[in-house]
Structure 1
Amino acid sequence: MNDDAPTEKLPNLPSLPQEMEMGFNGSEPVTPTSPTLPGHWPLPGSIIRNALNTQTNNVEVSDAQFEHKTPVSPDNLVATTDIFIPMPPPPPIHVPGDKRTGKKALYSLFILGLVTGLLLGSIGMAFFIQRVQNTPPYANQPTSGPTKGVTPVVTSTPTPVIHYNYSFEDGQNDGWEPQVSPGLKIENSTKMAKNGAHSLLITFNNKAKSTYPHLSAAISTNAPHAYQTVYAYVYVASGKNVQGKIYMLDHNFKGYYPGIYLSYLTTGTWHRLSYILPSGFQGTATRIGLEFTGTNAIVYIDAIYWK
């Protein structure tokens, strides 16, 4: 069968000549490949082919963005292929009023810069005035140097003189004696001293941990009271696990001391023991004492005072 054979019925046509009518009735079949029928009536296949040819001949580029289109041939019905080529944006169009607009922008920038400069200048001036007002009048004055031939007077803060209540400089024990401590010995010595040339030498050997060798002295004048601090210097020449602390007795002979623990005393240096009399201390102190512990101990005490 020929590919150009009609696939649908012909429309109602006007009366045709007899020759054509005979052809349709099959007396003289007309081949579909004939270009036209008598009277220039095209066959349906020719109608489609002519339409395709017309479309192919009339193909044209409708948009500037498409450079090329593939035409459709009658023998190969293929969809058109568009090649998209992006076009650069059109150049800006200058109008006669652009120069005037640029001048206005420059003038606005100039005004803005002028206002900013004036504002910064006023701030800087205010800061400078405040700095000048806060500067003392003698800040920029030259420093006076020493006058020739005149020795400057150097003043110094005098060191406060400490009045020691017990310094043992008289060569005596100054009332210090052992208290319920048979193994403790006391004597005045010049081998070691914190103040002057004398101190009080004590020796003890506390083998039992339940006993603490201690010694004390009566206070006759200028007795300390609550809130005052009592000081005593102690030097450990030798011994093992030597410890010590101060204790005080009020006028009722009630004992006061800084906690239940003694301070560890290392050998070869002076240690300052201290105790602040509490607010509940009754009246003035009547006795001052030192309590120790340790074995084979050789200890010096000196420079005892309160303030």
Structure 2
Amino acid sequence: MSRILVTGTLAIDYTGRYAGRFRDLPRHDGINLSIELDRIERRFGGCAMNIAYGLALLGHDPVPFVFVGDDHDADYAGHLRELGIDRSGIVRIRGVTHSSHAFVFTDRDGNQFTGFYPGPARLPDFADRLAAFARSRDFDYAVLAPDIAPNMIAAAQLLNALEVPFLCDPGQCLTDFTAAEARELVALSRELIVNRFECETLEAYCGADPSTELDRLVVTAGADGSSCGEVSVPAAPATRVVDPTGCGDAYRTGFVHARLHHAPLEEAMRAGACAAAIKIETDGTQRHRFDDFPKRYAAAWGHVPEWLCEAGSPRA
């Protein structure tokens, strides 16, 4: 069992379904649009917590470090308690009314528009609190889930100082980085993962191919699979498509699980694809299960690799 520090956010997600296609909406200067939603759901979320959830299911010991506000509710805490997730790094900031919130709208093609409120993540003492927390514990690995730029840069600097390897996942937060912040985060990282749209943003910020400065740059592309340098892996088959929200987090979970068991890069990417396929079949970001993960891997790729046999059975 690996102990994994996961930094980022704990959020409440409000997800809405739009029956039409975003691409068919009127185009004009600005947005200024109103769309009718078929339904809306309130779910447990936050990229750091989604990743921690998946890692716990796969038998690891994730330790999230996140800030929450006064509205952090007992239901979310109880959910984490049932999973056995270490909650010592969930820091309640008194006087901050709201925790992070995400508002995610999905169209019939699976395209999404997200508004994110970082809430207490903006507080200036994140770096000092994280340093005190991380120095008091031993971690085998870390995942830097999407967060505001100063927090991700501080976390990367700290983990390099502590010699803890990490996967950097700036995600949708990249659009709020400055070019200088993006370049600094790349310079501090060895492994980085983004989707294809985020990769375009990163390339624009860096003015060149960022993979030249990294050991590995994994780029996910939804139904078109994922790639890392010359290695390409197709998407794993899903039995049905229910909700794409959180599929990227699930991919990262499967990828990290495989890498921690010393899987080759291609097999780690396959594990990520398999985890994402399982997630897309379930509504919400923390409701899927991985109990049939080895079976699903075999169904997608024709065999169960040795590292996955040695990893043991995921939590039912």
TM more than 0.5: no
Task: Please give the range of the TM-score, normalised by the shorter of the 2 chains.
Answer: under 0.3
TM-score (norm: length of structure 1): 0.18
Structure index of larger Rg: 1
Structure (1 or 2) with the greater strand fraction = 1
